[in-house]
């Protein structure tokens, strides 16, 4: 009885799981049966595969064709099974030798004329092939550079079913895609510069501190004050991604099918700015077959929520767990999947619904109750997780005539890089911890040593303003970042005082004036 087995894979979250395509040809009326817990996109491959085989010059066996996708208890979805199913039929029919497909992984969608189209998640398939120590991976030509990120691994790219068959019969060749070099991928984006922002020196300083320590930021100011301009320039002062960080981020985009010939590799830290009408699944991830959301697409980069109070409350509250754990777990009846979500959150909001509260050039038209309801849309627990609270005042007309001032992004990025280097050396013994914002709570006291004056200042602030334990740890982490920017090993009172101001507590240093929490 003619049998064939072809190796491919399916995606489960961000990982590829090996799948064996088994094909059996039996005597009987011509029929094509596909089993193995296949989703509709896989079941539809029967039509594509039969047409592609005929239009590639092969004779479709006039037998009962049974295709089994093993393991049978694993749900399969996607169109990448087309190519291995077609090759399995050709092997079972005796048109290709069984040895030619051994220890090789195949993936690709077939057009009706036999051409091979690109599919999502090829990077994950290449990672699996390297782990299984397979001899080669055959992927669509449009996915070749994406798969070549994983090396050492032989990547063959194909444009048609006929081309693959000729190569397997040693009657033709498939191009070998060379490995992607690290050096060509990791230069930071210089198109958006901090010198373009007029004024707002206090906000620029806050974003530099945030970048240096990986802290989350809340910016409050009227429309047109420059909140969005500042946020969009934040990735430009972050240190370049390491190869491992870029690989993690690229894997997310690969699974979502967002890579192409012009973008096979996520070299720059991502900046995601979803609209406030986005759903929970769109932001957090989910769906019938769970897929990563915006927080995973912002992995190792920045997630910007403009007009944060306008987002659905369930969306905002669902950010609390990923901000703490740097990953998100999506639970479904069939099981749960975990996606990476290590991002910097930058939220922007107006001081009131009309946006003019506190603006000396325009009168606010909002009632006190309206302002309270508007500001209450961001809950206290979420505010606690936003490390730096920054006021962005309106720009004065005189400043607009002068133009942008201050350091360029390149100079700020250099200072940030030096601060991050000090943090990496200090945190080298902690796996998965790369910056001050990620320091675990039990280790904050040990890794953030305070001078005696700084310790006294923080103690008075805790007692006077009844700051929570979470805020206490965040103030220490911010103070640690300020000391790193100042090239100082021990945290001084000036660092604690500035950190308290970012938390909305002023007047604790110097002349001892009483401040009020914002």
Residue 356 CB coordination number (10 Å): 19
Domain spans of the chain, in order of start: 3-168, 194-407, 439-502
On the question of pLDDT at 18 being above 90, the answer is yes
**Spatial contact of 375 and 155, defined as CB atoms under 8 Å apart:** no
Choosing among 3.90.1300.10, 3.30.1600.10, 3.40.630.30, 1.10.8.60, the CATH entry for 439-502 is: 1.10.8.60
* pLDDT > 70: percent of the chain: 92
More confident residue, 504 or 295: 295
Q: What is the mean pLDDT of residues 65-76?
A: 93
| pLDDT level of residue 8 (50, 70, 90 thresholds) | very high
On the question of pLDDT at 50 being above 90, the answer is yes
**Spatial contact of 486 and 395, defined as CB atoms under 8 Å apart:** no
> Residue 71: in which H helix or E strand, if any?
none
Q: What is the mean pLDDT of residues 375-380?
A: 91
Our CA angle for 484, 409, 448, nearest 5°, is 15
Rounded to whole angstroms, the Cα distance separating 207 from 197 reads 13
On the question of pLDDT at 296 being above 50, the answer is yes
Beta bridge partners of 303: 272, 345
| pLDDT level of residue 198 (50, 70, 90 thresholds) | confident
pLDDT at 358: 77
Q: What is the mean pLDDT of residues 292-299?
A: 96
Q: Strand runs (DSSP E) across 119-215, as ranges?
A: 136-140, 155-158
Our CA angle for 453, 504, 387, nearest 5°, is 90
Q: What is the mean pLDDT of residues 309-328?
A: 94
On the question of pLDDT at 21 being above 90, the answer is yes
pLDDT at 404: 63
Rounded to whole angstroms, the Cα distance separating 317 from 380 reads 10
Class of domain 194-407 as given by CATH: alpha beta
**Spatial contact of 215 and 209, defined as CB atoms under 8 Å apart:** yes
| pLDDT level of residue 259 (50, 70, 90 thresholds) | confident
Q: CATH topology for 3-168?
A: Ribosomal Protein S5; domain 2 (3.30.230)
**Does the predicted TM-score (pTM) go above 0.75?**
yes
Nearest to 503 by CA among 305, 206, 192, 61: 206
Find the DSSP H helices in 214-258.
227-233, 243-255
pLDDT at 455: 92
Mean pLDDT taken over the chain:
89
Question: For residue range 441-459, what is the model confidence (pLDDT) as tens digits?
Answer: 899 999 999 999 999 999 9
How far are the Cα atoms of 139, 225, 318, 349 from residue 374, in angstroms, in the given order?
A: 51, 19, 19, 10
Q: Strand runs (DSSP E) across 71-224, as ranges?
A: 104-106, 109-110, 116-117, 136-140, 155-158, 217-220
- 85-97 in b/e form (b: 16+ CB < 10 A) is bbbbbbbbbebbe
**Spatial contact of 73 and 37, defined as CB atoms under 8 Å apart:** yes
């Amino acid at each position: 009885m003619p049998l064939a087995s072809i190796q491919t894979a399916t995606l489960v979250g961000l990982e590829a799981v090996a799948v064996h395509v088994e094909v059996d040809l039996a005597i009987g009326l011509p029929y094509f049966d596909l089993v193995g817990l296949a989703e509709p996109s896989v079941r539809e491959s029967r039509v594509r595969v039969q047409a592609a085989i005929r239009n590639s010059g092969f004779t479709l066996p006039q037998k009962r064709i049974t295709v089994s996708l093993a393991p049978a208890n694993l749900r399969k979805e996607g169109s990448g099974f087309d190519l291995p199913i077609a090759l399995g039929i050709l092997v079972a029919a005796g048109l290709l030798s069984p040895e030619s497909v051994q220890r090789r992984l195949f993936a690709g969608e077939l057009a009706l004329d036999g051409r091979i189209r690109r599919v999502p998640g090829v990077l994950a398939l290449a990672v699996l092939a390297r782990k299984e120590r397979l001899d080669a991976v055959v992927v669509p030509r449009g996915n070749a550079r994406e798969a070549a990120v994983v090396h050492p691994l032989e990547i063959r790219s194909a444009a048609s079913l006929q081309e693959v068959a000729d190569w397997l019969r040693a009657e033709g060749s498939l191009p070998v895609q060379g490995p992607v070099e690290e050096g060509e991928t990791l230069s930071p984006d210089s198109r958006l510069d901090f010198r373009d922002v007029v004024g707002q020196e206090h906000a620029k300083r806050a974003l530099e501190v945030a970048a240096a320590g990986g802290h989350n930021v809340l910016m409050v100011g009227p429309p047109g004050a420059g909140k969005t301009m500042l946020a969009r320039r934040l990735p430009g002062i972050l240190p370049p991604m390491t190869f491992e960080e870029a690989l993690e981020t690229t894997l997310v985009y690969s699974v979502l099918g967002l890579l192409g010939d012009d973008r096979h590799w996520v070299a720059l830290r991502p900046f995601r700015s979803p609209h406030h009408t986005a759903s929970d699944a769109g932001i957090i991830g989910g769906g019938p077959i769970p897929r990563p959301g915006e927080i995973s697409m912002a992995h190792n980069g920045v997630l910007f929520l403009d007009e944060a109070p306008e987002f659905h409350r369930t969306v905002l509250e669902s950010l609390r767990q990923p901000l703490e754990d740097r990953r998100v777990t999506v639970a479904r009846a069939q099981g749960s999947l975990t996606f990476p979500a290590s991002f910097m959150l930058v939220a922007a909001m107006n001081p009131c619904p009309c946006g003019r509260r506190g603006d000396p050039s325009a009168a606010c038209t909002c009632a006190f109750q309206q302002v309270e309801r508007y500001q209450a849309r961001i809950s206290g627990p979420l505010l606690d997780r936003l490390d730096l609270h920054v006021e962005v005042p309106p720009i004065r007309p005189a400043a607009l005539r002068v133009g942008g001032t201050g350091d360029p992004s390149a100079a700020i990025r250099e200072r940030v890089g030096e601060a991050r280097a000090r943090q990496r050396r200090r945190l080298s013994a902690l796996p998965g911890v790369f910056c001050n914002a990620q320091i675990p709570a039990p280790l904050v006291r040990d890794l953030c040593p305070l001078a005696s004056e700084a310790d006294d200042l923080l103690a008075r602030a805790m007692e006077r303003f009844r700051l929570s334990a979470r805020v206490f740890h965040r103030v220490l982490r911010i103070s640690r970042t300020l000391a790193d920017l100042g090239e100082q090993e021990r945290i001084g009172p000036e660092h604690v005082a500035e950190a308290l101001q970012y938390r909305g507590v002023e007047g604790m240093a110097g002349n001892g004036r009483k401040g009020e929490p914002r």
